[in-house]
Amino acid sequence: MTEYWEPGTTIEWVYEGRGKHADLPNVRPMTVVRDDADGLVAWLAPGTPLLKPVLADGRETRDAGPIAMFTADRVLKLDVWRGTGILKASPVGKPWSVWYFWDADGTFSGWYVNLEREHVRDLAGRRTSTVDHVLDLWINPDRSIEWKDEDELDGAVTAGRHTPAEAEQIVADAWAAIRDVEAWVAPFSEDWQEWVAPVGWRVPGAPTTHQPALIAAELHS
């Protein structure tokens, strides 16, 4: 019998590092909204403390450019999510998650399809882990589609982060996601853009399952 997290449970949504950055994860504490046979939906609240890799000089990794962002030295930083909250849906069996974005005034601004490895769960440890696949899609409220970060996927191949065959599969996964958008299947059809976080939900604390990394991050924050 499959077990699921109860709504309101705090979990860690983890993007694992790769290669020489394998010990530098991106860890986002989030709150479970729904978890069942269709997949996981979780909330990243504004002001949530998180753990993320940055360049050795403290800049964001993508500031190094589409190739060096995968090869330059990194350190971990304990930071805070400063944007509006994000609702993330991870459908079962899909190599992507769908993120819901709102403007500061609460107006829904669109869906973000983050290409990534299908999630691996640690139920007891309350964490779900994946690997980011660089390429992304942006879906406007009118359902028009924009491709994002194609140059970074090319850079990832040049840097050795992905093989050409892996990049081809990632592009194929993006087209599969587009077919889901065009068919307007779940989670797009579930109207999560109308969801509002319960007033009583607290902002999660800092990540707890990466204590050695957390100590290192505090030294660089």
What's residue 218's pLDDT? 52
3-class secondary-structure state, position 69: helix
Note the pTM of the prediction, 2 decimals: 0.93
What is the chain's mean pLDDT, rounded? 93
Structure tokens at 71: 């090869």
Q: Domain extents for the chain?
A: 10-220
What's residue 130's pLDDT? 98
**Is residue 44 over pLDDT 70?**
yes
Q: Helices in 63-115 by DSSP H: which ranges? A: none
Question: What CATH code would you report for 10-220?
Answer: 2.40.380.10
Among the listed ranges 6-10, 126-130, 217-221, which one has the minimum average pLDDT value? Answer: 217-221
- Please provide the DSSP assignment of 155-198 as one string: HHHHHTSS-HHHHHHHHHHHHHHHHHHHHT-TTGGGTGGG----
What's residue 208's pLDDT? 79
Percent of the chain at pLDDT above 90? 90
Distance CA 214, CA 205 (A): 12
Q: How confident is the model at residue 2 (pLDDT cuts 50, 70, 90)?
A: confident
Q: What is the pLDDT of residues 198-210, one digit of tens each?
A: 999 999 999 976 6
What's residue 216's pLDDT? 52
DSSP 103: -
Mean pLDDT of 98-118: 97
Q: What is the pLDDT of residues 122-163, one digit of tens each?
A: 999 999 999 999 999 999 999 999 999 999 999 999 999 999
By CB atoms closer than 10 A (0-12, 13-18, 19+), residue 171 is: middle
Q: Helices in the chain by DSSP H: which ranges? A: 150-159, 164-183, 211-220
What's residue 48's pLDDT? 97
What's residue 125's pLDDT? 92
Q: What is the pLDDT of residues 54-91, one digit of tens each?
A: 999 999 999 999 999 999 999 999 999 998 999 999 99
Of residues 199 and 221, more confidently modeled: 199
